[in-house]
Chains A and B, each alone.
Chain A
């Protein structure tokens, strides 16, 4: 079956611009999570969506936002880009929404590598 698809794979933006990244989860998966990966901070949780509702949010400024559509596809948006936003943005899908202490198996996409100049 098709895996998690993220687009675009690579993009270059300048400071102050905004960017939208897309994620199509594995068919049938309703949970989509987003992570930011940088050499200095590693993988950090951005947010999670399940059935079009944001269930959880990490410690990122309000410039980072996301949404999920009825077909479970998700987008994340970063406005007023800063140099420090340069990173690999990873999307992960899961069949179920994890309960407390019960993280579902996450399937990651290949990521969207954002460079901010």
Chain B
């Protein structure tokens, strides 16, 4: 069974601070996706990382896929209140559009 462990579970920071969210597994994934979910809405895809060691940037967000494709991280620089939400990592399974999700990190950025 493939599992993804996300940490931390909760993060409350001040506007302007930096933060990193981690997603770890003992399994190898062909790709990992990061989603952000706001209350009352479904998750929205932020990025997909495919190659071991890959780094992708999306404005103030930096995503990294581990060399062994077992872990990933999301780093936010100078967090803004608009970054508040639930961040989810998800790895593809062996077949089809079936994703294995981490438990999520609730981020609150205070102004």
Contact = CB atoms under 8 A, between A and B. Distances in A.
Interface centre among B45, B94, B99 (most CB of A within 10 A): B99
A110 interface: yes
Interface of A is mostly: strand
Contacts, number: 87
Contacts of A33: 97-99
- A-B interface, 6 closest residue pairs, ranked by CB to CB distance from nearest: A101-B30, A108-B42, A103-B92, A43-B101, A98-B97, A56-B96
Contacts of B41: 110-111
Interface of B: 29-31, 33, 35, 40-45, 48, 88, 90, 92-104
Interface size class of A (residues with CB under 8 A): 20 to 34
B36 to A, nearest CB: 11
Contacts of A56: 93, 95-98
Given A110-B40, A110-B41, A31 B97 contact: yes
Contacts of B104: 42-43
B96 A48 contact: yes
Interface of A: 4, 31, 33, 35, 42-45, 48, 50, 55-56, 58, 90, 92, 94, 97-111
